[in-house]
């Protein structure tokens, strides 16, 4: 089948939406939104207002209006901002724990020792990428080491961890051969080490979605985290364990909220997430995997105070 759809001018895009049943109260504001946010991007937010039809014309439900879609779009922007803030804190914290625990237990350059890692091929790949990152780095502490020391040719772990991406950190951590090494790090966050492995992998995917402005509020993630049942103790009963719910953002927000409470005990991150959800009109938390009683579950209940 050959693609034959023409490019539509902004006014034509607006007319098409109107013909399909979307109420548009302010044409000027609507044109402005289409001009700066792309019809195709915004469609990810008004698609939840459509109803199935036999002719495939994407008709809207009665009462559907553009402002609702724009509210969801702005909510998603705010949610991505909150997520990026938290992911940055978690990344720095886990980097720090990884460097500290491994260096203290096995030495400053322990990461060069292939025997400490499960898969030698993955270790070699991680090491090669770390060489590239160090070579590109303009950090003063990296330059200082390279200028002062001739061997080893890479800085100690507490320095190189600062140029590791979240994805690289996830791979280094998951490839540790000794469960005891992973466990010491995971215990700092009151989670099982297998949970932390999957959480870091999931967090890497989530961060990439956010960094590229991808929709996250009602996304079904393909790379999911292992949903814990007993740990962390204060958050265990807040998680949802259904197959569909495990692909939604609710469990991720709950786990991130727990991590933020560990890393920054006085932070209000989860409270800001809750208030952002509550003040967004027409938002259905169920589309994010939120259970009906989410406000009463301990972690989220404490976030209201």
- Tens of pLDDT, residue by residue over 15-42, are 999 998 999 999 999 999 999 999 889 9
Kindly report the backbone phi and psi dihedral angles of residue 217, in degrees, each rounded to the nearest multiple of 5, phi listed first: -60, -40
The pLDDT-based confidence of 215 (bands split at 50, 70, 90) is very high
| 227: Cα separation from own chain's centroid | 15
Q: For 221-238, what is each residue's pLDDT tens digit?
A: 999 999 988 888 888 889
**pTM, whole model, 2 decimals?**
0.91
Distance CA 14, CA 23 (A): 10
Cα dist. 33→6, 30, 113, 225, 230 in Å?
20, 5, 54, 35, 46
**What one-character-per-residue DSSP string does 180-231 give?**
HHHHHHHHTTTS-HHHHHHHHHHHHHHHHHHHTT---TT---SS-----SS-
Average pLDDT over residues 238-250: 86
Q: What are 51-103's pLDDT values in tens digits?
A: 877 666 778 899 899 999 999 999 999 999 999 999 999 999 999 999 999 99
Within the chain, strands assigned E span none
Whether the per-residue pLDDT at 146 is higher than 90: the answer is no
Res. 302 pLDDT band, cuts 50 70 90: confident
List CB contacts of 238: < 8 A, sequence separation 6 or more. 254, 294, 297, 298, 299, 300
């Amino acid at each position: 089948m050959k693609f034959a759809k023409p490019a539509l001018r902004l006014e034509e895009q607006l007319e098409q939406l109107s013909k399909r049943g979307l109420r548009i109260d302010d044409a000027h504001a609507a044109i402005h939104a289409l001009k700066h946010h792309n019809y195709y991007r915004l469609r990810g937010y008004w698609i939840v207002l459509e109803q199935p039809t036999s002719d495939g014309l994407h008709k809207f439900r009665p009462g559907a209006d553009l402002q609702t879609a724009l509210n969801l779009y702005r909510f998603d922007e705010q949610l991505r901002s909150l997520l990026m803030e938290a992911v940055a804190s978690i990344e720095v914290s886990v980097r720090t724990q990884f460097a500290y625990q491994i260096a203290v237990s096995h030495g400053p350059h322990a990461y060069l020792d292939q025997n400490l890692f499960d898969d030698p091929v993955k270790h070699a790949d991680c090491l090669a990428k770390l060489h590239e990152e160090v070579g590109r780095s303009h950090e003063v502490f990296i330059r200082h080491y390279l200028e002062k020391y001739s061997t080893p040719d890479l800085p100690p772990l507490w320095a190189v961890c600062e140029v590791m991406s979240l994805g690289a950190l996830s791979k280094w951590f998951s490839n540790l051969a000794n469960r005891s090494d992973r466990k010491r790090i995971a215990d700092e966050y009151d989670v099982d080490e297998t949970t932390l492995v999957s959480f870091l992998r999931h967090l890497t995917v989530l961060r990439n979605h956010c960094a590229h402005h991808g929709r996250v509020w009602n996304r079904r993630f393909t790379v999911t985290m292992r949903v814990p049942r007993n740990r962390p103790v204060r958050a265990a009963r807040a998680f949802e364990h259904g197959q569909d719910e495990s692909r939604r953002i609710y469990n991720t927000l709950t786990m991130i909220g727990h991590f933020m409470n560990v890393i920054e005990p006085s932070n209000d991150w989860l409270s800001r997430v809750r208030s952002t959800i509550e003040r967004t009109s027409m938002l259905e938390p169920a589309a994010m995997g939120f259970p009906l009683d989410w406000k009463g579950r301990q972690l989220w209940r404490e976030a209201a105070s």
